[in-house]
Structure 1
């Protein structure tokens, strides 16, 4: 599960996305002068150390973007180039925000979710009376039926951007993450394992990522 705290953060997520997304090559064909949140989904880190949240955003010209980020309580060694910003969180303290595509924890959990037919983490709000389950603003589902995660190690993922997608390669496995989403179809090859998602106003599943 993922836990959301009643806290102030500086910069806000909307502010950091508005500053960072327009500079990304996969967003070059979209009007990112304004970004509107459509939903988001989280994954669980098995070790409980890394927050993983993927934002689904509408652009000024009506395109839909998928933006995965990871949140860490300390800098990740050697990851300076994928650092988005640092954040001050009134409950959790200083946070380091990274482009999730370069984060091995995100790659491993995304691959596992797709391969095993997993889904987004339940989100709870931390209150003085305990944890309160929050409604999901986006839901995702992997298409695989494997009993466990693939054996590939993701400790040194190689990331390349190809148009509006990012490719994460490691140990012979390949993850393709779509950044500009096609909301009318969820097409993929019959032998591909995929992650699809829905959110408020988008009942038809949308293709989000592919595992080969």
Structure 2
């Protein structure tokens, strides 16, 4: 049975789009990208095995046509030691107050991405909590690894910016998240690639090593 993420039919305040439009233009990895407008293109999710943390990566189109990758995590309580990674809190009409983080600084996200990359995993299917009806998924991501491969345990992370990439260090694991997508970029490392409407050829999203 495929792993799924449970989605609630809910109102959130402020909206995710409002949070992103306020936060993204201030980030050091944005470079020379024109963020005067940001349009949602698509999104994909990973699963938290403990069922506590929402993991959602947003794909946005900038005013100059670049595709930006912005992973967020949603938590029901603050993440210890991650005050600088907190983007905002929002009110969720079903789950209550949620703490929204830059996911690159969240060990649950880092573990999920590393697992997908190293074991050949993929983004999860989506279902509504109140009906189990499937939600169409149009952004498809997949890791280059092999099922059963070992994945380092992730307990804490540190992040740095190099150009338009975020470099994440977590013990013996180094994970690079590509923030500004270059359709022609390749990596010889273990990779996560994705496709979505308007991007039919796999684009590099993240890599280990």
TM category (shorter chain) comes to over 0.9
CA distance 1:113–1:149, change in 2 (3 Å): farther
- Aligned residue for 1:137? 138
Aligned residue number for residue 101 of structure 1:
104
The answer as to whether partners of 1:187 and 1:207 remain within 8 angstroms in 2 is: yes
* CA shift digits 1:42-82 (9 cap, x unpaired): 00001000000000000001111000000001111121110
Q: Counterpart of 1:200?
A: 197
TM-score, structure 2 normalization? 0.95
- Look up the match of 1:181: 181
Q: Alignment RMSD, CA only? A: 1.1
Residue in structure 1 matched with residue 62 of structure 2 by the alignment: 59
What SS does structure 1 have at the residue aligned with 2:34? Answer: coil
Aligned to 1:44: 47
Contact 1:111–1:149 (Cα < 8 Å) also in 2: no
1:87-140 Cα distance to aligned partner (Å, 9 max, x none): 00101100000000000011111100000100001111233xx21111113110
Q: Is 1:17 matched up with 2:20?
A: yes
Aligned length: 206
Q: Which runs of 5 or more residues in structure 1 are unaligned? A: none
CA contact (8 A) 2:121 2:147 kept: no
CA distance in 2, matches of 1:23, 1:206: 25
Runs of at least 4 residues of structure 1 off by over 2 A? none
**CA–CA separation in structure 1 for the residues paired with 2:167 and 2:147:** 22
- What is the alpha-carbon distance in structure 1 between the residues aligned to residue 150 and residue 159 of structure 2? 20
| Structure 2 unpaired stretches of 5+ | none
Please give the TM-score of this superposition, normalised by the length of structure 1.
0.94
Question: Would the aligned equivalents of 1:168 and 1:175 in 2 still touch at CA under 8 Å?
Answer: yes
Structure 2 CA distance, aligned partners of 1:175 and 1:193?
10
Offset at 1:170? Answer: 1.8
User: Which residue of the partner structure matches residue 82 of structure 1?
Assistant: 85
